[in-house]
């Protein structure tokens, strides 16, 4: 009887908590549905640029499924490769075929080489040799180097979001925030103060993660460590402002965790762990509306392609816009704040 009474109390408590009920019943279905669309996307064919190559071999390469782009000169093809419009550039040098791989993605490198070997096999005499070079990285680049650049941004985003949300919620539940609202401080000053305070530790975390991933774990770094720190910090600030914003709609720490399946997990699929081009177009558009997409893209370009400010400034601007928007919404949320 006592066990039944306790069980009934738990059932009534969960039924009254609509958010918990939705998390248990609906959130898993939403995530599974998203995964279905993500993994059922079309395959991504290697994008190969051709300069002065025999027509028969070009046709054979196209028959493997590769997307062929023909260029009249190597300079224009190199510009396309540097802008990440091509995965490889194939040309003839000293009478022998030469392939220049973009190099930042081991998976794309393998796809290109597999398509080339399949296309060239019928035409290759015994002495035929395919020379290979890398625009970025090298043959030693492994899967962890590619995904590591994405994980650096993801872990910064995830832990800052979690800690900021819980910490800001504690300020509310202990009454500290209510006392601050009763002072002459303006709401935007309160938000700015909290963000500055949390931001100090955010900077420390971003620096530590970037140093450890490259200096200790040995993740490839072709670009500037300073640029990695800047982008990682901008991504962490976006997570900080988002975490404090969503904490305004939580009544306890458990409800902060409830946002993870809806806010954090979907962003993983758009951070570069899966090729965005392989997803349906409406999912690609969704990916462009998420901060982790821009942070991960910038970190990948810096760490694997040696990109500088001129290549990643648009990603940095997008992260700044996200942070400003979340901060503004934080100020608006304080207007409706009530002590809990």
Per-residue pLDDT for 230 more than 80?
yes
Residue 1: what pLDDT? Answer: 61
Which burial class, exposed, middle or buried, applies to 340 when counting CB atoms under 10 A from its CB (0-12, 13-18, 19+)?
exposed
Q: Where are the domains of the chain?
A: 47-134, 143-335
Asked if 74 and 114 count as a contact pair (C-beta separation under 8 A), the reply is: no
| Mean pLDDT taken over the chain | 76
Structure tokens at 29: 């279905």
Q: How far is CA 235 from CA 5, 36, 123, 154, in A?
A: 48, 27, 49, 9
Structure tokens at 304: 């694997």
Asked if 298 and 312 count as a contact pair (C-beta separation under 8 A), the reply is: yes
Give how far the C-alpha of residue 85 lies from the chain's centroid of Cα atoms, to the nearest Å.
19
Give counts: helices (H), strands (E), the chain.
15, 5
* 275-334: pLDDT as tens digits: 776 677 777 778 788 898 899 888 888 888 888 888 889 999 999 999 999 888 887 877
Residue 339: what pLDDT? Answer: 45
* 27-78: pLDDT as tens digits: 666 666 665 665 565 566 788 878 877 777 777 777 777 788 888 777 787 8
Asked if 80 and 71 count as a contact pair (C-beta separation under 8 A), the reply is: yes
Asked if 223 and 305 count as a contact pair (C-beta separation under 8 A), the reply is: yes
Would you tell me which CATH number, out of the four given (3.40.1710.10, 2.60.40.1120, 3.90.1300.10, 3.40.50.300), belongs to the domain 47-134?
3.40.1710.10
Angle at 13 between CA 7 and CA 19, to 5 degrees: 130
Asked if 322 and 289 count as a contact pair (C-beta separation under 8 A), the reply is: no
Q: Tell me the β-bridge partners of 47.
A: 67
Highest mean pLDDT among 17-21, 247-251, 279-283, 324-328: 324-328
Provide the whole-model pTM. Answer: 0.74
* 72-102: pLDDT as tens digits: 777 787 887 777 778 778 877 766 777 877 7
Half-sphere exposure of 141 (CA within 13 A, CB side): 28
Burial 10-25 (b: 16+ CB within 10 A, else e): eeeeeeebeeeeebee
Q: Where are the alpha helices (DSSP H) in 141-278?
A: 143-173, 176-181, 187-211, 225-247, 253-258, 265-268
Residues 6+ apart with CB under 8 A from 197: none
Residue 322: what pLDDT? Answer: 93
Q: Tell me the β-bridge partners of 70.
A: 50
Residue 36: what pLDDT? Answer: 62
Residue 37: what pLDDT? Answer: 64
Residue 340: what pLDDT? Answer: 40
Asked if 121 and 60 count as a contact pair (C-beta separation under 8 A), the reply is: no
Measured CA to CA, the distance from residue 325 to residue 320 in angstroms comes to 9
Measured CA to CA, the distance from residue 158 to residue 292 in angstroms comes to 10
Asked if 89 and 99 count as a contact pair (C-beta separation under 8 A), the reply is: yes
């Amino acid at each position: 009887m006592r066990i039944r009474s306790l069980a009934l109390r738990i059932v009534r408590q969960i039924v009254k908590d609509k958010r918990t009920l939705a998390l248990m019943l609906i959130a898993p279905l939403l995530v599974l549905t998203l995964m279905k669309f993500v993994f059922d996307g079309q395959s991504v064919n290697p994008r190969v640029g051709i300069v002065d190559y025999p027509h028969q071999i070009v046709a054979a390469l196209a028959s493997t499924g590769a997307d062929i782009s023909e260029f009249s000169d190597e300079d224009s093809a190199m510009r396309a490769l540097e802008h990440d419009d091509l995965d490889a550039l194939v040309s003839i040098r000293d009478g022998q075929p030469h392939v220049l791989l973009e190099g930042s993605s081991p998976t794309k490198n393998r796809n290109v080489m597999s398509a080339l070997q399949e296309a060239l096999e019928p035409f290759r005499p015994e002495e035929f040799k395919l020379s290979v070079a890398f625009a970025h990285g090298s043959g030693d680049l492994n899967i962890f180097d590619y995904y590591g650049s994405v994980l650096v941004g993801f872990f910064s985003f995830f832990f800052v979001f979690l800690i900021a949300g819980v910490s800001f919620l504690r300020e509310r539940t202990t009454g500290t925030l209510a006392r601050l609202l009763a002072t002459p401080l303006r709401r935007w000053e309160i938000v700015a103060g909290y963000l500055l305070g949390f931001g100090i530790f955010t900077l420390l975390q971003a620096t530590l993660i970037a140093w450890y991933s490259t200096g200790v774990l040995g993740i490839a770094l072709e670009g500037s460590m300073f640029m990695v720190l800047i982008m990682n910090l901008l991504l962490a600030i976006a997570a900080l402002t988002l975490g404090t914003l969503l904490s305004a709609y939580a009544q306890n720490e458990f409800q902060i965790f409830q946002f993870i399946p809806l806010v954090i997990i979907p962003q993983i699929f758009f951070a570069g762990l899966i090729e965005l081009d392989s997803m349906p177009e409406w999912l690609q558009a969704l990916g462009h509306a998420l901060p982790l997409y821009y942070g991960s893209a910038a970190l990948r370009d810096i760490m694997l392609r040696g990109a500088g400010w001129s290549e990643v400034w648009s990603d940095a601007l997008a992260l700044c816009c996200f942070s400003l928007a979340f901060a503004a919404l934080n100020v608006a949320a304080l207007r409706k704040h009530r002590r809990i």
